[in-house]
Amino acid sequence: MPTKPPSQSESPPTDPDSLQGEQKLRYFIDRCHERAADPDDNEWSMTLAPTLKVHSTSSSPTQKVTFTFQVQPPHLNSLGNMHGGCTATLFDLCTSSALFLVSRPGFWNYLGVSRCLNVTYLKPLPVGTRVLVECEVVSIGRRLAHLRGVICDDEGLGVVYATCEHTKVNTDPDVAKV
């Protein structure tokens, strides 16, 4: 069943390594928001963070996370639409974050690295467009994960702007067997 963001009164944990599932996902997105607000943090992908929010999560029958996002001026190409590379980066960030729902020490704890990210662009995304980024863990094993993403309108009109298939390779060190 989908969940909503925790109340503002909840305080963040002091040990992020103790988090799992949705808590770990929300902690990661909160840290992205903090980094985006830091003028000394120059990682370009952090321009996506200010309007990226967790909308809902689900773990049945597959692990899914849906984000809300609004296209901003730093995301644009010369035609005034979201740049294709920015769209691919948004998919990379969001589909990878879906792995937090299944990660645990020794199993996708570091979210792996991208092996293949295939994006299909269907409609332009002009500045100000509000969308949902729906992400799903399609298949996951010890070494490979296959993820899927869809960027669609946030009003339920059925408009699909882009889709992706994302394959990742696990980079976690082997955990000693007890």
pLDDT over 50 (residue 8):
no
Domain for residue 6, yes or no? no
Number of domains forming the structure of the chain: 1
Among 19-33, 99-113, 123-137, 157-171, the range scoring the smallest mean pLDDT is 19-33
| 7: in domain | no
The Cα–Cα gap between 100 and 21 comes to 5
- pTM equals 0.84
Domain extent at residue 116? 20-169
Q: Are strands 130-140 and 64-70 parallel, antiparallel or unpaired?
A: antiparallel
β-pairing, 144-153 with 130-140? antiparallel
Does residue 44 surpass a pLDDT of 80?
no
User: In this predicted structure, what is the pLDDT of residue 177?
Assistant: 59
Q: What is the CATH number of the domain that holds 100?
A: 3.10.129.10
| 24 in any annotated domain | yes
Whether the predicted pLDDT of 42 surpasses 80 = no
Q: Which of 19-28, 39-48, 72-81 tops mean pLDDT?
A: 72-81
- Whether residue 108 lies inside any domain: the answer is yes
Q: How confident is the model at residue 30 (pLDDT cuts 50, 70, 90)?
A: confident
d(CA 98, CA 83): 23
Question: Does any domain span residue 33?
Answer: yes
Query: pLDDT band for position 13 (50/70/90)?
Result: low
